[in-house]
Amino acid sequence: MTGIRFIKPEELKKNYIAYPNTVAVVSAFDREHRPNFMSVVWQSQLSMDPLLHGVSISPKRYTHSLIMDSKRFSVAFYAFEALDIYVLGGRLSGRDYDKVATAGLDVNQGRVLDVPLLNGFYAALECDLDRIVTTGDHDLFIGRVRGIHLDQQVFAQDGITPLGARPTLYLGANRFVTIDRSTLHAKTLEDLKITV
């Protein structure tokens, strides 16, 4: 394989191989009911029935302890134009800063669960903690989705509309990108002339 370099896992200093990934904001209340949030890249829908969403968080992170205490959290998605929330959420710790006040964000409470929802998202999930799976140096918090908030201007029945929000993708090393709407294509097996 010309041009392909092989390295051993222990030689990898930062793992950006699977990037870009969609960035999300995970929020939880502390014991005094103060909201905190952090940016996460390692997050994913895990199941449709039941509806489960997972976020992978290091035990070193302040939000990790808040989810452990409260057993619930929210996951929200913001358009590329709201990039500052992701930078702030990923670079400041709630142990040292009131990130909500620093960013001048408004916070609402979830409709189903006692979780903070920071204004401006195009989609948000309210999650009860279903279980925790330790995956090396991170814990995968698996949340059972109890409530879903969708911006009606962004979502159609089949997902994000072409003219809706531009999702924020993380490339690693403090670099972000979004999609180019001109690259949107729907393709099926029929288009490839493959019959099953």
pLDDT digits (tens, 9 = 90+) for 128-177: 999 999 999 999 999 999 999 998 888 877 666 656 788 999 999 899 99
Query: Is 195 contained in some domain?
Result: no
State the CATH number of the domain containing residue 170. Answer: 2.30.110.10
Read off the pLDDT of each residue in 58-62 and give the average, rounded to a whole number.
Answer: 97
Angstrom distance (rounded) from CA 127 to CA 147: 7
Query: Is 190 contained in some domain?
Result: no
Angstrom distance (rounded) from CA 99 to CA 104: 8
pLDDT at 62: 97
Query: Is 192 contained in some domain?
Result: no
CA angle 62, 73, 154 (to 5 degrees): 120
Residue reference for tokens 């999300």: 24
The model's pTM is: 0.91
Query: Is 3 contained in some domain?
Result: no
Sheet strands side by side (includes 21-22): 21-22, 169-172, 175-177
Query: Is 173 contained in some domain?
Result: yes
Percent share of the chain, pLDDT over 90: 66
Range of the domain at 147: 13-183
pLDDT at 164: 76
Query: Is 193 contained in some domain?
Result: no
Query: Is 17 contained in some domain?
Result: yes
pLDDT at 162: 56
**Tokens, residue 170:** 């993380």
Structural domains in the chain (count): 1
Query: Is 86 contained in some domain?
Result: yes
